[in-house]
Amino acid sequence: MSKWIGFTNQKLYQVRLLLEQRERLDGPEALLDGLEQGAQYLLYDAYVSYLNELAEMANYRQPVATLEDLLAHTPLVTGEMKEIQFLRADSFSWLTAMLKAVAEQAQPTSSRTIEVDTFDPFGDAASLNSITLLQDNASPASKWLSQLSDLIDAQRENRQES
């Protein structure tokens, strides 16, 4: 059995643990964000580990870091690789969204605000206030975990049946 299979499974399990912790907590927003971001980084690790699983299956024994590396170096491009390539090429796919979110985490962000005019009928004049937009508490990482796990499980099952 490939060492990468166990490593991929370990990363997926760690994502589950972080997301379960996030769901149970009613803590500060920074902690919840940290757990979400940690889960997204571990999802990325699981994805890269799975790419290495596929590389090893195609008799390429060097580590790969991206899908492009995998496709460029493996002697045989398999159906599994093509399926991932298709998902990656679709700008609306869950995989593209996940990879984009992970890349964006490495960049500083500013809080989004909307300027609104408020009229005070009892005061002097209208004043300008900022309203900070709140993020939805739903976890994108939990959706991506489910989709990545389903993809990996389906592809592994297909290989066993072959």
- pLDDT tens digits along 61-84: 999 999 999 999 999 999 999 999
**pLDDT bucket at 138, cuts 50 / 70 / 90:** low
Buried b vs exposed e over 109-144: b needs ≥16 C-beta within 10 Å?
Answer: eeeeeeeeeeeeeeeeeeeeeeeeeeeeeebbbbeb
Residue 126 CB contacts under 8 Å (≥ 6 apart), including other chains: 117, 118, 119, 120
Q: How far apart are CA 149 and CA 18, in angstroms?
A: 15
| pLDDT one-digit tens code per residue, 87-128 | 999 999 999 999 999 999 988 876 544 444 444 555 554 444
Helices then strands (H, E): number in the chain?
6, 2
